[in-house]
Every structure is written in C-alpha cells, then in structure tokens.
C-alpha cells in the first residue's frame, strides 16, 4: 500500500472514527464494544492476510512469558499506590462496585478482557506497530503515536482523567509489546490493570455511563 493510502487509513481509523463516536456518543455509546470487536476483527483479518506479518507475535508465549513477571513487578507497587489514591480521593466509590453490584462486577471481569482488551491490543499494538512501519519506520515513533492515539480514543468518555490514564497505559502496553513481541502478554497486562481499576472504583471514569 502506498504511503498516502496508509496515512489516510491511519487518520481515518485512529482519528476520525473516535471523533465520530464522540460526536454521536449518546446514540453510539451502547455499541462501543460491538464496534471494537468489528474493527479488531477487521485488523486481525488484514494482519493474517499480510504475508509480511509474523504470526508468532499474536502468541509468542515462550518468548513472552518472562515479561509477565516484569508486568507483575510493575503492577504491584503502582496498583497499591493507585488504590490508596482512590480511597483518599473517592472514598464513596472505593470497592463500591464489587460490594453493591457483585453480579455486574463479575460479568465485567469476564467480558471486559474478551470484548474490550483483546480488540484494543490487536488494533493499537499488533496492527498499528506492523501496519505503519512503512510510514513510521522508528518503532519508538510508532510507540509515541500509538500512545497518543490510544489516549485520544478515550476522550469519548468525556473526561481528561480517562485520556491521561489511558495514555499512560498505552505507553506501558506499547513498550511491553515491543519487548515481548507478544500480543497475549499485553492482553494479560491490560486486563489486569483494567479489572483492577474497575474493582477499586475508578471505572466510572472509563465508562460510557459517566459520559451520558
């Protein structure tokens, strides 16, 4: 594909689609997961059709396994600090969801990784890092662009906290993908952080309900 077409695709998929979603959030909000799954499926299909894509990156469990420990070492201290901040800043929300809406919370822990995390990691890490190598040759430039666009996409939630937190997460997950070369590893790390944030009461900033 020519560079111009790649730039057009990048802008359309990673800028225009989130903007359109934000503009019609009241109507499109309930379909967010479905849209993610469709786009993620399309990106996966294009990757599998591409003979230059190394399919082992989707799994690569042997090479990626050691990076799970690094993920855990990063998670434990920062998760503790985050929990303390949420407890101090939003005491009424701390652990409210698992305590008061247990069934919904448990369902989220199951469906969130499958319907949200998996498509996001395919789109913003595996697809982005491979698809745009031609126009963004430096993997660190791709990391920066992916991070910024990942944060930008979360503007649909209508608050700056979602954008900042998601950009930080995007940087962590992008760097982990560069190190591990494993989509599965970043899916596990992303799922761990996401489920943790929903559990401790931070999820209201990362939900469509907060916007509507």
pLDDT in tens, the chain (212 residues): 899 999 999 999 999 999 998 888 877 788 899 999 999 999 999 999 999 999 999 999 888 889 999 999 999 999 999 999 999 999 999 999 999 999 999 999 999 999 999 999 999 999 999 999 999 999 999 999 999 999 999 999 989 999 999 999 999 999 999 999 999 999 999 999 999 999 999 888 887 655 44
Q: pLDDT tens digit string along 27-56?
A: 778 889 999 999 999 999 999 999 999 999
Tally of domains in the chain:
1
Question: How far is the C-alpha of 22 from the C-alpha of 16, rounded, in Å?
Answer: 10
CB atoms within 10 A of CB 111: 11
Question: How far is the C-alpha of 47 from the C-alpha of 50, rounded, in Å?
Answer: 5
Angle formed at CA 18 by CA 12 and CA 19, multiple of 5 degrees? 90
Q: State how far the alpha carbon of 51 is from the alpha carbons of 18, 46, 56, 92, in Å.
A: 29, 10, 12, 52
Q: pLDDT tens digit string along 5-35?
A: 999 999 999 999 999 988 888 777 888 999 9
Q: Is the dihedral of CA 148, 150, 151, 154 positive or negative?
A: positive
Question: How far is the C-alpha of 212 from the C-alpha of 208, rounded, in Å?
Answer: 6
The predicted model scores a pTM of 0.94
Instruction: Give the contacts of 54 (CB within 8 A, at least 6 positions apart).
Output: none
Contact 97, 198 (CB under 8 A): yes
CB atoms within 10 A of CB 116: 20
| Domain enclosing residue 90, as ranges | 3-211
End-to-end CA distance of the chain: 39
């Amino acid at each position: 594909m020519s560079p111009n077409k790649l730039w057009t695709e990048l802008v359309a998929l990673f800028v225009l689609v989130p903007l359109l979603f934000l503009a019609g959030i009241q109507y499109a909000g309930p379909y967010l997961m479905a849209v993610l799954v469709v786009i993620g499926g399309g990106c996966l299909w294009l990757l599998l059709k591409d003979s230059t894509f190394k399919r082992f990156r989707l799994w690569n469990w042997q090479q990626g396994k050691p990076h799970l420990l690094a993920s855990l070492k990063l998670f434990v201290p920062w998760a503790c600090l985050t929990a303390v901040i949420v407890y101090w800043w939003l005491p009424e929300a701390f652990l409210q969801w698992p305590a008061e809406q247990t069934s919904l919370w448990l369902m989220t822990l199951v469906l969130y990784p499958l319907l949200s995390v998996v498509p996001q990691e395919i789109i913003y890490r595996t697809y982005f890092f491979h698809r745009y190598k031609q126009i963004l040759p430096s993997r660190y430039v791709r990391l920066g662009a992916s991070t910024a666009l990942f944060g930008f996409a979360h503007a649909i939630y209508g608050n700056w906290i979602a954008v900042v937190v998601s950009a930080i997460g995007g940087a962590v997950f992008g760097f982990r993908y560069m190190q591990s070369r494993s989509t599965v590893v970043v899916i596990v790390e992303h799922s761990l952080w996401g489920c943790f944030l929903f559990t401790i009461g931070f999820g209201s900033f990362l939900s469509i309900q907060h916007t509507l």
